[in-house]
Structure 1
């Protein structure tokens, strides 16, 4: 019962955070409607940084905890609600159906990746209780060598080893590893596709109904809401796009984010070369022992289980 109360409380905090964030973004096109889109985007980014930073400080000060997955869900439903209540009036039925299908698929994908096992190493033979995130360094036992062969890395958030560990995703509330990496990539593409679809739909709406802003106050508020959510989706695409490109690179060269960031902690990724000046030290550089060529790497990714 206590766990349920905490979960409801965290979800409530996330819901309030989404409303405050969208309200703050609403002020940008409201007061800067005549400014160029780049100015509005810059101001929106600054607003997001300030609101999220201040909100995080307030939550820590008051002892409130928020749920990142709940924040993602609430953001999706907020954008979807604006689309249904406002934006769909000015777009074609085909675009309306397409966007609704994309949102439904996003929600299904989110539930799946939150519940799916990313590849937790649970075999008792590994004696995970005796291992920690630094146990793979230095002298390796038989169990630790087996973990390295599985490309299992320690997740501090989940406090366990994950096979093919890439990173822990707070937004999805789960690790990204061997068993859900493909789903993660599909979901990331889905987010970008849905956001681009909404940008197109809301752009059509603001262009078609801009004349109403001069005639009625409520129409002006509706246009501002469509504009502020458009800015929100553009900002999402601007950071998710490079994030997607990075993971495509990782797939093509068969490397995980955690391995790339912490390669100096793993001897298999270190290439030692003696100094040419004759001094008694070795220069360590990066090497990727898992790179089998782009085609083979992509094939291996598509066959992950």
Structure 2
């Protein structure tokens, strides 16, 4: 499973190859453009260069969307962009950074990159927890109308009335993903970067993979810092070659990635501790169980609807439930 559970919705092979090539081009364009920050703004402080890099990435993102809609009329692949970004940084490390890096640091970084490649493949092809009805195939389930599947889920909920509370609670959190066109157990969100839903079956591995990204990127920063110290590129910012500019720009890129991923991990840890999912938090008005209706006070016409999490059983119990549902 990459972008959809429905085989008929898979892009054609030529289209998929074209999207991967487009993603590869955008990766090289991004890093070559970022290399201009340390080269042309060498007199600026590091924090200013970091802010300029963040702004430039936003401009490139907007430019890429404009090209996709008007010029190219083709959509790049986000998972391919992640893959080629890892490959670009790894290739640059081998060609420029690695000769001056101590053996232990080199082993740690290469093991981390290997884990990212394997993890990226696993998370893209994993089953997040697709709801299957008996012997029906995923394609048959997807082809049914939403109302039919809703009716089936209601019947399943009635049938589980005599089952365990854990099973019925799990069924209540079956959510529909419009991108995958499938119902997912305990759906957290659809991750564009990995081209797959994050649900009951792959949520723990998703968190592990995020920690893998953070660890590998921190290892790269350490290796690149050693390169910068030995080559003295920070002492002569106005005389940088292209490879030296790329060394600094990849540091800026990785730091921005780390900041984003650390915030993302903190958010997901909070969601686990509070027993709430990202999709539920964003779209809580769509799910009745999260709506607390407050009657209007005297003199008021309208009722107030506030957020209320019925699944929150305390941090310890929430974490136990999160782990127990996946064992």
CA RMSD of aligned residues (A): 2.8
Query: Is there any run of 5+ residues in structure 2 with no aligned partner, and where?
Result: 1-10, 161-167
Query: Is there any run of 5+ residues in structure 1 with no aligned partner, and where?
Result: none
1:208 to 230, 234, 241: 230
Q: Secondary structure at the match of 2:35?
A: helix
- Could you give the per-residue CA deviations for residues 75-99 of structure 1, whole angstroms, max 9, x where no partner exists? 0000111111111222221111000
Aligned equivalents of 1:149, 1:106: Cα separation in 2: 30
Using a 3 Å threshold, how does the CA distance of structure 1 residues 211 and 8 change in structure 2: closer, same or farther? Answer: closer
Partners of 1:251 and 1:298 within 8 A in 2: yes
TM-score normalized with structure 2 length: 0.84
1:220 CA drift (Å): 3.0
Partners of 2:228 and 2:234 within 8 A in 1: no
- Counting matched residue pairs gives 300
- Could you give the per-residue CA deviations for residues 201-231 of structure 1, whole angstroms, max 9, x where no partner exists? 11221122016986x97x7332211101111
1:232 to 2:257 alignment: no
Partners of 2:170 and 2:186 within 8 A in 1: no
Choose between structure 1 and 2 for higher RCO, CA contacts under 8 A separated by at least 6 residues.
Answer: 2
- Could you give the per-residue CA deviations for residues 2-21 of structure 1, whole angstroms, max 9, x where no partner exists? 82211111110110010101
Q: Which range moved further: 112-121 or 291-300?
A: 291-300
- Could you give the per-residue CA deviations for residues 39-97 of structure 1, whole angstroms, max 9, x where no partner exists? 11111111111122112211222222211100000000001111111112222211110
Q: Which range moved further: 83-92 or 276-285?
A: 276-285
Which residue of structure 1 aligns with residue 6 of structure 2? none
- Could you give the per-residue CA deviations for residues 98-150 of structure 1, whole angstroms, max 9, x where no partner exists? 00000000110000000000011121589662216x969xxx95357779851
Which residue of structure 2 aligns with residue 123 of structure 1? 133
1:261 to 2:271 alignment: no
Which residue of structure 2 aligns with residue 12 of structure 1? 21
Aligned equivalents of 1:202, 1:104: Cα separation in 2: 18
Partners of 1:135 and 1:144 within 8 A in 2: no
- Could you give the per-residue CA deviations for residues 175-219 of structure 1, whole angstroms, max 9, x where no partner exists? 0000000010001111111111111211221122016986x97x7
TM-score normalized with structure 1 length: 0.90
Using a 3 Å threshold, how does the CA distance of structure 1 residues 149 and 180 change in structure 2: closer, same or farther? Answer: closer
Aligned equivalents of 1:109, 1:121: Cα separation in 2: 24
1:183 to 174, 192, 205: 205
1:274 CA drift (Å): 2.4
Partners of 1:213 and 1:223 within 8 A in 2: no
1:58 to 46, 62, 67: 67
Using a 3 Å threshold, how does the CA distance of structure 1 residues 105 and 141 change in structure 2: closer, same or farther? Answer: closer
